[in-house]
Structure 1
Amino acid sequence: MFYQERYQKKHENFSKILNHLNRNLGERRLTEFSDLELSGLLKQFTLSFDLMWKTIKDYLEFNGVDIGIISPTNVLRSAASSGLLEEMDVEGEDLIEMLRARNQLTHVYDFETALDLLERIKATYVPELLKVESFFNGK
């Protein structure tokens, strides 16, 4: 029961921040955002990704999947090997690319790089994150 409650609570938080990110990205072109707004959008992506992999972790644990050492990479590998990513209709490579982008964000200091990352977030990552959210909405 404990893990079910944990993954459901994480899913609620994941859903809130992801929908906020999706709504904000959809309202304007990326070049219309100020530096401060771009920083906020990038932070929303980071939070969305972190809550996504932690929701998957708790869901896998609830279902008895042994993850081993807890890390985003190991959780995504376990989700792939257990068939969960396929069940979610999510591309594992996109999730690994998201992880790299999330890690890269700690080293982004210029506007152009931030815009490039946001383009990928809007075009590729948010749709994949929405698939994960949709899967958990059905649980």
Structure 2
Amino acid sequence: MFDDDIRWIQRFDNFSKAIGHLENALHIPSPDLVQKAGIIQFFEMSFELAWNMLKDYLEEQGFVDIKSPRSAIKKAFEMNILEDGHDWMDLLQDRNLTAHTYDEQKATEMELLIRDKYFPVMKALHDSFRDRRDGK
């Protein structure tokens, strides 16, 4: 089987692009409201791809009971794929709130959480799976 046929690797490639966009957006100094909305959108896309990549990887490892982001995060933490289980659960909870971020204060709070707490844990996952993909 070619790497291109492995579902988690396909998902990783998309996750890699999304987190790259998020990283670029986080380099914007003093983002305005529209830029914060973009940061939040890139965060949402990155998270969706991250948990689905975890799900695909865990399924390849023989775990077929992964049906939700919460179950993927829990199993990945149990398997020592994720180091920061509590941060990932916080990330999931806050991700669920981003759809309800309507005012500038909430957007600013979320942008700071993404910048300071959530991007680093997603970047660590990205780097770990890049190494898995590359056989390191």
TM more than 0.5: yes
Q: Which runs of 4+ in 1 moved over 6 A?
A: none
For 1:48, the aligned partner's letter is S
**Identity over the aligned pairs, expressed in percent?**
31
Which has the larger helix fraction? 1
Figure out how many residues of one structure are paired with residues of the other and give that number.
131
Q: Relative to structure 1, is the Cα distance of residues 69 and 10 closer, same or farther in structure 2, using a 3 angstrom cutoff?
A: closer
Secondary structure of 1:11 counterpart: helix
Whether contact under 8 Å (2:59, 2:66) holds in the other structure is: no
The superposition leaves residues 3-22 of structure 1 with CA deviations (integer Å, 9 ceiling, x where unpaired) of 96210011011011101111
Secondary structure of 1:84 counterpart: coil
Please say which of residues 13-22 and 75-84 is displaced more in the overlay. Answer: 75-84
Question: Aligned residue for 1:103?
Answer: 96
Superposed counterparts of 1:1-139, under 5 Å: 1=1, 5-28=6-29, 32-66=30-64, 68=65, 70-85=67-82, 90-139=83-132
For 1:46, the aligned partner's letter is E
Cα displacement (A) at 1:69: 5.0
Q: 2: CA distance between counterparts of 1:120 and 1:2?
A: 38
Secondary structure of 2:102 counterpart: coil
Q: 2: CA distance between counterparts of 1:121 and 1:44?
A: 10
Give the gaps of 5 or more residues in structure 2. Answer: none
Q: 2: CA distance between counterparts of 1:127 and 1:9?
A: 22
Secondary structure of 1:107 counterpart: coil
For 1:77, the aligned partner's letter is K
TM-score (norm: length of structure 1): 0.87
Cα displacement (A) at 1:113: 0.8
TM-score (norm: length of structure 2): 0.89
Give the gaps of 5 or more residues in structure 1. Answer: none
